[in-house]
C-alpha cells in the first residue's frame, strides 16, 4: 500500500505537525509550502492522501484542489483550514464540478491527523 502523504500548507509549523504525527506511525510525509509546489510533487509521484490548506499566498487552496484533481484525480484530498467560511461558495462550486474532498478545521491534534489518515486510507476500525 502507498503510504506517502502530501501536506500543502504555507505555515511551516503546520507542515511539521503533519510530519511529526504521521512519520512515527509509518507514513512517508512530503510537504509543500504552496499550491504550485504541491501540484508538482503530486504530478511527479502521486501520494495516497493530500492534506491541503485553503488560504495560501499565490495559488489558493481551491485552485490548488482543481489542479490536483487534473494531475491525480483518484487521490483523496482533505482540506484542513481555519478559513472555510471565506471559501464556502468556491468549495460548493468545486463539489458541483465533481471534485471530492473532506474538510477539517484547524488546529488538528496529532491524534486527529492520524485518525483522518487511517480512516481515509484504511477504512474505519471494526470492533
Which position has the grid cell 508538482? 40
For the whole model, what pTM was predicted?
Answer: 0.93
**88-110: pLDDT as tens digits:** 899 999 999 999 999 999 999 99
Instruction: Decide if 102 contacts 116 (C-beta within 8 A).
Output: yes
How large is the average pLDDT for residues 1-24? Answer: 95
pLDDT at 80 over 90: yes
**What pLDDT, in 10s, does the model give residues 24-74?**
999 999 999 999 999 999 999 999 999 999 999 999 999 999 999 999 999
Q: What is the DSSP string of 52-66?
A: E-S--SSS-HHHHHH
Domain architecture of the chain: domains with CATH:
4-118 (3.40.50.2300)
Residue 80 DSSP SS3: strand
- Report the distance separating Cα 75 and Cα 56, nearest Å: 21
Q: Give the pLDDT score at 99.
A: 95
Q: How many CB atoms lie within 10 A of CB 101?
A: 18
Amino acid at each position: 500500500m502507498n503510504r506517502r502523504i502530501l501536506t500543502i500548507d504555507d505555515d511551516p509549523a503546520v507542515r511539521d505537525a503533519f510530519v511529526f504525527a504521521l512519520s512515527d506511525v509509518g507514513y512517508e510525509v512530503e510537504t509543500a509550502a504552496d499550491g504550485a509546489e504541491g501540484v508538482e510533487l503530486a504530478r511527479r509521484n502521486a501520494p495516497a492522501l493530500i492534506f491541503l490548506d485553503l488560504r495560501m499566498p499565490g495559488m489558493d487552496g481551491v485552485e490548488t484542489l482543481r489542479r490536483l484533481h487534473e494531475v491525480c484525480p483518484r487521490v483523496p484530498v482533505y482540506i484542513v483550514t481555519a478559513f472555510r467560511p471565506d471559501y464556502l461558495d468556491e468549495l460548493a462550486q468545486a463539489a458541483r464540478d465533481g471534485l471530492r474532498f473532506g474538510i477539517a478545521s484547524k488546529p488538528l491534534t496529532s491524534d486527529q491527523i492520524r485518525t483522518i489518515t487511517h480512516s481515509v486510507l484504511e477504512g474505519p476500525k471494526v470492533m
